[in-house]
């Protein structure tokens, strides 16, 4: 199957990043969101990113305009009927994703592959919402999408070899390096990363160290480019909590219990960079 038109559900930070790399690879892109203002904001973010690349002389102005022209925005999910491959990048809420996949299964022709950018929800559980489980797969991009090279490709129990192969090739077409993971809560990336972030939050909660010192230890002692608390703010504390809850629910192991301080911050609306305040103030 040849992918010519690529659909993206969600125009937030992850969705518009995925749309940008897809358009930069030469594909026509349809990016949808629930409100016109959200979709327009996502398109503006792509334009801003492309202008930055033009200023740095990494692409020409003509190339930047061509990439942007390949992205069309919509608030009508029915427009995904024109796509050959669709990736969902909505908020990390199980019921929201389930509803989207039920609708996509109804709207999209039978040959269309339905990918999800979920960072922790089991692929099989999402695939079960459709009548095409063999065409459902995890396509987990890293943030920020245009910069980060990794895409975690996650097979569900029913995912076909053809679906996997097409997804792998798309990742390479986007200039990314794919890595294969099987369908366990958190997959590879977040099964390793999120407990580390959660433990850093416990260190802050239990006054083992101040936030700056916790981040400094991990940056300078472990050679991480960013400390775990600053990284949590970048990811979004609500997303971190949702992933930890998925891990805890999936493994029934107390080592995956979300730190009470993380939950407290989320309940207060301190979500990190996107809200202006998390462990740090932005």
Q: 126, 124, 187: which is closest to 151 by C-alpha?
A: 187
- Output the CA–CA distances (angstroms, integers) from residue 13 to 10, 22, 111, 119, 128, in the order listed: 9, 14, 28, 14, 27
Query: Where are the extended beta strands (E) located within 122-265?
Result: 136-141, 150-155, 177-182
Query: Please, what is the average pLDDT of the chain?
Result: 97
Catalytic positions: 119, 140, 152, 190
Q: How confident is the model at residue 52 (pLDDT cuts 50, 70, 90)?
A: very high
pLDDT attached to residue 32: 98
Q: Is 271 helix (H, G, I), strand (E, B) or coil?
A: coil
Residue pLDDT, tens place only, 222-253? 999 999 999 999 999 999 999 999 999 999 99
User: At residue 1, does pLDDT exceed 90?
Assistant: no
């Amino acid at each position: 199957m040849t992918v010519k038109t690529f659909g993206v559900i969600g125009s937030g930070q992850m969705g518009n990043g995925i749309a940008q790399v897809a358009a930069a690879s030469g594909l026509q892109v349809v990016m949808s969101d629930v409100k016109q203002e959200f979709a327009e904001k996502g398109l503006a973010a792509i334009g801003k990113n492309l202008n930055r690349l033009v200023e740095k002389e990494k692409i020409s102005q003509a190339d930047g305009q061509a990439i942007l022209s390949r992205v069309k925005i919509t608030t009508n999910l029915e427009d995904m009927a024109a796509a050959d491959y669709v990736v969902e990048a909505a908020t990390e809420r199980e019921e929201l994703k389930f509803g989207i996949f039920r609708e996509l299964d109804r709207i999209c022709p039978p040959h269309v592959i339905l990918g999800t950018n979920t960072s922790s929800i089991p692929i099989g559980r999402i695939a079960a919402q459709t009548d095409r489980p063999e065409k459902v797969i995890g396509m987990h991009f890293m943030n920020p999408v245009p910069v980060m090279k990794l895409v975690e490709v996650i097979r569900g129990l029913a995912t076909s070899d053809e679906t996997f192969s097409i997804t792998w090739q798309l990742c390479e077409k986007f200039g990314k390096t794919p890595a294969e993971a099987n369908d366990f809560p958190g997959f590879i990336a977040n099964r390793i990363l999120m407990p580390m972030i959660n433990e850093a939050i416990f260190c802050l909660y239990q006054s083992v160290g101040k936030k700056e010192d916790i981040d400094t230890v991990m940056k300078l002692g472990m050679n991480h480019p960013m400390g775990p608390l600053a990284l949590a703010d970048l990811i979004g504390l609500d997303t971190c909590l949702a992933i930890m809850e998925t891990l805890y629910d999936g493994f029934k192991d107390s080592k995956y219990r979300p730190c009470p301080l993380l939950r407290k911050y989320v309940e207060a609306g301190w979500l990190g960079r996107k809200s202006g305040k998390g462990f740090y103030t932005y």
